[in-house]
C-alpha cells in the first residue's frame, strides 16, 4: 500500500505542475495593435548641394549629419583625403573606392583652404 500512496501523490504533483504550465485560452484572443507615430525625415536643406554633391550625400550622411563636416575648419586636400580615409578605415564607412576622389574634390571645393 505504501507504493500506491506514493504514485497517487506523484500524479497529483504532476497535475499541479502541468496546470501551471498550460497557458490560459484567453491569451490566444489578445489582439496586436500597431501604432504609427510621426517621424522627421532628414531635412533636404541639411544635405550637400551643388556640383558633385551626390557623392558626399550618398556616402557621408549614413552615420552623422552634414553639420559634422560643415562645422570643421577649412582643410586642405591632403587633410580631407586623410579624413575620408579615416571614415573608411576606422569608422568602417562603406564608401566605394571609386567615389573617394569625387568626395575629396567636393570637400576641397566647398570646405577647403583656397
Q: Does 54 bind ligand HEC (CB under 6 A)?
A: no
Distance of closest approach, residue 31 Cβ to ligand HEC, in angstroms: 40
Residue with cell 504533483: 13
What is the distance between the alpha carbons of residues 102 and 63, in angstroms, rounded to a whole number?
Answer: 19
Q: Does 53 bind ligand HEC (CB under 6 A)?
A: no
What is the distance between the alpha carbons of residues 39 and 46, in angstroms, rounded to a whole number?
Answer: 16
Q: Does 18 bind ligand HEC (CB under 6 A)?
A: no
What is the distance between the alpha carbons of residues 58 and 99, in angstroms, rounded to a whole number?
Answer: 10
Which residues are near ligand HEC by CB under 6 A? 59-60, 62-64, 68-69, 72, 83-84, 86-87, 91-93, 95, 103
Amino acid at each position: 500500500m505504501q507504493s500506491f500512496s506514493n504514485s497517487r501523490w506523484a500524479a497529483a504533483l504532476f497535475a499541479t505542475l502541468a496546470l501551471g504550465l498550460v497557458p490560459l485560452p484567453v491569451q490566444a484572443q489578445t489582439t496586436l495593435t500597431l501604432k504609427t507615430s510621426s517621424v522627421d525625415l532628414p531635412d533636404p536643406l541639411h544635405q550637400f548641394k551643388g556640383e558633385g554633391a551626390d557623392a558626399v550625400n550618398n556616402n557621408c550622411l549614413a552615420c552623422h549629419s552634414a553639420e559634422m563636416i560643415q562645422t570643421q575648419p577649412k582643410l586642405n586636400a591632403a587633410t580631407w583625403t586623410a579624413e575620408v580615409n579615416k571614415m573608411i578605415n576606422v569608422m568602417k564607412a562603406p564608401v566605394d573606392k571609386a567615389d573617394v576622389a569625387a568626395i575629396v574634390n567636393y570637400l576641397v571645393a566647398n570646405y577647403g583652404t583656397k
